[in-house]
Structures are given as structure tokens and as C-alpha cells.
Amino acid sequence: MSFKLKLVKLAIKWTPKKLIVWVSNIVLKDIAELTGFSFDLDTRKFYVQIQLVGESETIDVWVEDFAIITAGNSYKFIIREARSNRVWLGNILSRITGKEWEIPVIPPIEPHIEFIAELLKEENPKTVDQLN
């Protein structure tokens, strides 16, 4: 693992949750409020709790085991597990989990995609038998 990669992982780990919530709530003003958040890059898990404006209940989303898969010169994103406390969102998540999604080449991130892929690469790639 490169020094740059270790440094970025530490920065992600050390970023205060309150700062993430504060910035998110500035961006989401008049739409929603982020009320809960956790992210662990090492275990590939994150949790988000959001309160939509005008709604009485929060929406909770749990995502586990996500990665970027490198295939030659292309990159694909996969989420292995995701669930929500809302039925409609759980149904949407069930349709996108377990599928590899091609990451389009976007000129502003093209020089950095290899680094991002290394940051989010699968630590222990799953075999076909493990997926079934």
C-alpha cells in the first residue's frame, strides 16, 4: 500500500462525523437533514439516517461490502448488501445490490480513477461459490 493511499485512509478515518453532518446539512438545506452517519472504510460499511423535510420518520440506510473492481482499463462499482427501513427503498436497493455497475470515464476524475479504484478495491474478492 502506497504512502498516499495510507494517508488518504487516515484522513477519511479521522474526519469528524460532526463535520460531515454539518456540511451535509448545509448542502441538503430545505430538502432533508442528516441525523445519523457512520462510515468505516476498513470494513466497507456505512450507515445514513436522514429526515426528509415534512416527513415524520427518518429513513435509515445500511450498506455493507462495497468495492471497485478493476477489469483491464475499465472500472466497475459493486454493492454486495444494502437495506433500508423503508420498503420502497429496500426494493430499490435489492435491485442494485450484487450487480457490477460500469463507472463512466468522466474527464475531471479520469486522472484519479486509478487511485480511487485502489482505495476501494476488493480486499478479498468473492468467488462464484461464495456468492451463492
Task: Tell me the C-alpha distance between 41 and 68, whole Å.
Answer: 13
Q: Retrieve residue 97's grid coordinates.
A: 445490490
Task: Tell me the C-alpha distance between 97 and 131, whole Å.
Answer: 12
Question: First vs last Cα of the chain: how many Å apart?
Answer: 31
The neighbour count for residue 100, using CB atoms within 10 Å, is 14
Q: What is the pLDDT along the chain (132 residues), one digit of tens a residue?
A: 789 999 999 999 999 999 999 999 999 999 999 999 999 999 999 999 999 999 999 999 999 999 999 988 899 999 999 999 999 999 999 999 999 999 998 899 888 999 999 999 987 766 544 554
**Quick one: how far is CA 23 from the chain centroid?**
17
